[in-house]
A and B are shown apart, each in its own frame.
Chain A
Amino acid sequence: MGYTITEKILARASGGAAVRAGDEVRAKPDFVVSYDFPGYTDVIFRQMKDEFGIDKVREPDRFVLFIDHMVPAVTPQEEDLHQNTRDWGAANAVPVHERKGIGHQVAAELGYATPGALVVHFDGHVSQLGTFGTLAIGVRRQLLEAFVKDCILIKVPATTRVDLTGHLRPGVMARDVFHHIVRVLGPASCRFQVLEIGGAALADMSIDARQTITCLAMFTGAITAIINPDQVTLPYARERARLLIEPLYSDVDAAYAARHTIDLTNLEPVVVVPPSPANTRDLSEVLGTEVQVGYLGSCASGRIEDLRAAAQVLRGRSIRPGFQLHVVPTSQEIMRQAAEEGLLTNLITAGAFVTSPSCDYCFGRLGVMTAGQRAVSTGTLNVRGRMGSPDSEIYIVNAAAVAAAAIEGRIADPRRYL
């Protein structure tokens, strides 16, 4: 019986001997990634020093920090947090990247998504580095372990393999694919496992599309998602890779906890209705629902493919008066490309409010809703209060559907505008 890519990465990171799902191993993360956030990085920096007497991390090249939440700062306390992060980074010779975009995206742009590498973060959406054959796990406060020890103790996770087949129809996007996977498999289907995505349909899927799918793995219960490197991802990843290691791949006879095949041929656009990421429905079930706010952005969506789809829908059209459409490209690199392609011009001309990259629209810090308001969103999550008042509502849809709703002021099928 062969091995999964996850087992191979953890074998490599724990010294080389073969490991199987269920083994507990000491693994050395190749990269320790985080963004500054109260209760996480500030506490870790303090505990490192006060609890463990560690002034500096031993191998600063393994660490990277992003400032992407609370950007721009709106209170002195927020700026204090950022300054503390900059100071810690300078003292530790650890790079701090700010105002370059959402860290999970920028980490890929900067080569931390090295194929075959092990990455840890406190935030589970780092799973999107799995797009490049990197095993990237969000461990919440256990991230402290990676700051004070070289190795983390980790149980090798089992893997559920999902093969996607068929071709997506126009107007159906990666966002629909992911939430359809949740609908088919269930929100607890991959608990404590790795969701490995494969299948012939991947050949049609861009890096952007794959990042969307792997970003959201946690909503299947998985601790991360991973895709075996291929000709789509390897050129991008190897050109940027920060480590010289050989990519790893699942064996054809790898041992999986479960295998599923999902045919995408007849998939329609979907919606995730509030208040849970478990609630996938066909978009057609909620057409006509009045919405006042649209958010196109986040670490899950907001990449060039999403911006192109929205710009195509909005080209030559106007958003409904009074509708608030926030467009937030995921990184500066993406925003620059969108400008060069003329997408921003289309979006702005249609009436969109386009801002520089920030996580803040996704978690209710900017562009918040009041009671009774309802949004269509490509943000990560639709739980109560995620984007403002607990009495506002979030309908998760693909980028084209956000744009279509902005035109009509109601949830609309984007395909009529494509």
Chain B
Amino acid sequence: MDANLLSSYIFAVIVLNVLLGLMAYMTYFERKIMAAMQDRVGPNRTGPLGLLQPIADGVKLLSKEDIIPKHADRRIFLLAPLFSFVLSPVAAAVIPFGDSIEVFGHEVNLYVADINVAALYFLAIGSMAVFGIILGGYASANRYSLLGGLRSAAQVISYEIILGLSLIGVFILSGSLSLVEIVSQQNETLALGPLQLPNWFILSQPLAFVIFLIAAVAETNRAPFDLPEAETELIGGFHTEYSGFRFSFFFLAEYISMIVISLFAATIFLGGTDGPILDGVWWLGLKACIFLFFYIWLRTTVPRFRYDQLMGLAWKVLLPLVLINILLTGLIRLWGLGML
């Protein structure tokens, strides 16, 4: 086997395990931060400062009884959580974690794959991941789950369009769909007279950034767009009937896709691994943490949307805005190239 391929595989295994570990502690930090915001203490019983809580939770979920409802569509019911769980970390394969490093005399690239349609690949995986939720909702043979699945279908289709279109401005400016290329372009400096700024796309595409952020929250089914699992009305929605480790698959998938979409946002809009002093990986991690904190902050601050507000926001507000953004970016790009 060729050495490059082998190092890609090894790197993929490392990324997968790091994501799973991060995910566990993401739940811990979410609970701690939420507790702080709500003037509570948060988990503090298991281990020092409650640090062993995620492990205890994991053991608890794995050892619980796996219940399959009598009238459930058995095969789909068993398949649906796997669908979610397998697809969410797969999207991380195209994210560049830094420049290549030297290991045992081999040049090892810090990404699993650099494909020329990396950004589209990311969107494609995201659009597939919703099947887990829809099928889970359908197979449970439960009205609430079915409603959760239906909501998810409508929500994800609407917000996927917004998510994809908000990236087009970046593609127009960078002229590439490859994340490695997009990051390397953001490493350059943007000189505005005496002002030296990093050429991050958040500066040239601020509107697209805001829209992407909103769509990303909706895409991962997080508050305030968590209508597919709205506890107060749907009793958990698509995962009402799931228990034990099948439930934990949905749970894992949600948190991993949060982490992955944060990494993606940091890569596209915040210059990815670009930054002084520290290594690229740390910068990428720090920037992703900003987004993750934002997710939690939103959850504690903003009440859940009503369903028609959610759809209205996507189609009547965000879609026109994002189309205007594409038009303006295109015109400016043509003008910059001297073709207008």
Instruction: Verify that A and B bind, or say they do not.
Output: no
Could you list which residues of chain B lie within 8 angstroms of chain A, going by C-beta atoms? none
